[in-house]
Structure 1
Amino acid sequence: MPPSQNLDAYLERIHYKGSLDLSIETLQGLHVGNCLNIPFENLDIHLGHSISLDPDHLFEKIVGQNRGGYCYELNGLFAYILEELGFKVTGLMARVLIHRKPEPRNHHVLCVHVDGRDWLVDVGYGGRGLLAPIPIENKQTEKQFADTIRLVETPENHWTLQTLIEENWEPQYEFNLAPYRPIDYIPGNYYHSTSPESLFTRITLCTMPTTDGFIQLRNQHLTITANGKSVSEKAHSLEEYHRLLKKNFKIELKGGFTPPW
């Protein structure tokens, strides 16, 4: 797959028709397009597929098969695309803070240096995180469609991403600027896709932000939030589940799907 063909197909996948110059405007457009069109999902685990981080495999799955992925896949492909365009990209690792028990650093995020600033980039969170890049600067607050987010620097030289939820700043994850190489993500990817202790082996999950809210299909339960109001629906059969998956995320699974519910 020549890079030019890869790029054209990717841009069509995210419905992006803007400039490709090395600017924050380009980065923002690509980031928003990716988030609004490529879902966060872990369905390959329940199709019995191993999760490959090879760029060609990621491209074929996410672009060729109109699928999504989780952080190692989505941010892995996005880093590859950005580097093909000439952006300076550094891989980072974050610690998710939304769970009750302490978590190791196992969430893949990116730092992109453009227009003289470092920007946090993350198209693979799956929760109430970024829709667009945010400068890595203390108390930098931004309204991004339905959510308001900010970065807060800690005394330990870490950065915490927070989302304003019901007038409270809720921490999403923390990270520092220590660089990671592609090989460094292999252990975390293996753990998340194979360990019985991993959330992703115990549930099926598909999420995607929208311009006015969020869509989540967790196991059989679909929740659509728009303008602060939520509606829910439950799939009572695999047939209904596949219908919800196709209608809300444009995903069609083929054979071997064995959900844990």
Structure 2
Amino acid sequence: MATYTAEQISGYLQHIGYSQDVKQHFAEDPLGLLTRIQILHMARVPFESLSLHYSKHRTVSLDPQDLFTKVVVRGRGGYCMEVNAFFATVLRTLGFALFSTGGRVRGDAGYKGWDHMVNIVTIDNQRYLVDVGFGTNGPTRPVPLQHEHQFITVFPTKGMLEYRGIDAHTDPSQKTWVYSVRQQEDSPWAEMYCFGELEFIPGDFDVMNMRTSSAPQSFFVQSVMCMQTVLDENQREPVGKRILHRDYIKMLNGNETVVTRRLLSEADRVEALKKYFNIVLSAEEQNGIKGLASELKDRSKHA
């Protein structure tokens, strides 16, 4: 399996703001190291769909070296298969035992086909769900694969894992891991996605990636989006999410959702990506969206 060089890992750790002795941290507390770099990663590496809109080719590569260049050298992110494939390569290089598998996201009409990727990391004979690429409702820490295990994502939102069947199954003996969230203590649980423990190989993700990056009905093809976790002032705990979606910027802080800015033109959106996410798009990239349905038509004269 692919790994990164020591120089690349050093560059990545610097990129996310990790300053400890990583080898010592791994030897003393591997779960603590995994938790720390996941939190820092999600605050620095955005979950985004920009390559499907702001480029000539509008394709997504899952090659580990391409991903390193995109994430560390260019300061970008990607959607689930990009950022989770990249993170898997980082973890493998650091010495973690893991495999990647596919997930099914639940939409308004029920579960869809394989369209998500997660990593399963084993530490001291315990398997953990590690997902840095699900967006607003994704887990922000490693989650042990334990039936009915509950945890905080970003307070007060709770997540839960269950090992059970789903309504799409026709065989009642079938079981899978189901990840759900609820926004308040008295809110109902909402299923987000499900996944199993069968290792997927690169060819599986190539097939998934092709459809997710090109099908007209794909959320990522339809929507320009970019999201990062926001940490507290000590850069320790997740306290919110910063989101650009289509024509607005919003902040999720606990129970509060605040739309901080409406985007009235492509120039507005390009400037917002730079200001809020430190993403600078080249002139060639900016031209790539011209003529697409996702292009933001200039409404500044009518605002």
**CA separation of 1:246 and 1:90: change in aligned 2, threshold 3 A:** same
The ranges of structure 1 where at least 4 consecutive aligned residues each deviate by more than 4 angstroms after the TM superposition are none
What is the one-letter code of the residue matched to 1:37? R
1:181 is aligned with what amino acid?
I
2:138–2:153 CA contact under 8 A, matched in 1 = no
Q: Map 1:91-240 onto structure 2 (within 5 A).
A: 91-146=100-155, 147-155=157-165, 156-166=174-184, 167-210=187-230, 211-232=238-259, 233-240=261-268
Q: 1:137 to 1:101 in 2, by over 3 A?
A: closer
Query: Which has the larger displacement, 152-161 or 142-151?
Result: 142-151
2:206 aligned partner, one-letter code: I
Cα distance in 2, alignment partners of residues 227 and 126 from structure 1: 15
| 1:226 partner letter | N
Tell me the distance in 1 between the aligned counterparts of 2:248 and 2:150.
32
SS in 1 for 2:205: helix
**2:154 and 2:254 in contact (8 A); partners too:** no
Instruction: Tell me the distance in 1 between the aligned counterparts of 2:193 and 2:160.
Output: 11
Report how many residues are paired. Answer: 261
Structure-1 separation of matches of 2:276 and 2:39: 18
Give CA deviations for 1:107-164 in whole Å, capped at 9, x if unaligned: 0101000122000010111231110110000011112342321101104220111112
Following the alignment from structure 2 to structure 1, what is the Cα–Cα distance between the partners of residues 209 and 241?
A: 25
Instruction: Indicate the residue corresponding to 1:36 in structure 2.
Output: 43
TM-score (norm 1): 0.94
- 8 Å CA contact 2:137–2:153 kept in 1: the answer is no
Contact 1:213 1:228 in 2 (8 A): no
Structure 1: any 5+ residue segments left out of the alignment?
none
Deviates more, 1:231-240 or 1:98-107: 98-107
Task: Please state how far the C-alpha of 1:227 moved relative to its aligned partner.
Answer: 2.7
* Equivalence map 1:51-90=2 (5 Å): 51-90=60-99
CA drift of 1:228 comes to 1.6
- Three-state SS of the structure 1 residue aligned to 2:251 is strand
**How many Å separate the matches in 2 of 1:171 and 1:241?**
31
Of 251-260 and 53-62, more deviation after overlay is shown by 251-260
Task: Quote the offset at 1:17 in angstroms.
Answer: 2.1
Does residue 48 (structure 1) correspond to residue 56 (structure 2)? The answer is: yes
Q: State the AA in 2 paired with 1:219.
A: R
What is the Cα-based RMSD across aligned positions, in Å?
1.7
What residue identity is the alignment partner of 2:11? A
Could you tell me the TM-score, scaled by structure 2's length? 0.82
Distance in 2, matches of 1:70 and 1:192, equals 10
Q: What code does the residue aligned with 2:7 have?
A: Q
Distance 2:120 2:91 in 1: 11
Q: How far is the alpha carbon of 1:44 from its aligned partner? A: 0.6
The 1-side partners of 2:163 and 2:213 are apart by 31
Counterparts of 1:238 and 1:119, CA distance in 2:
40
Which residue number in structure 1 is paired with residue 8 of structure 2?
6
Which protein shows a greater Rg? Answer: 2
- Cα separation, 1, equivalents of 2:4 and 2:132: 24
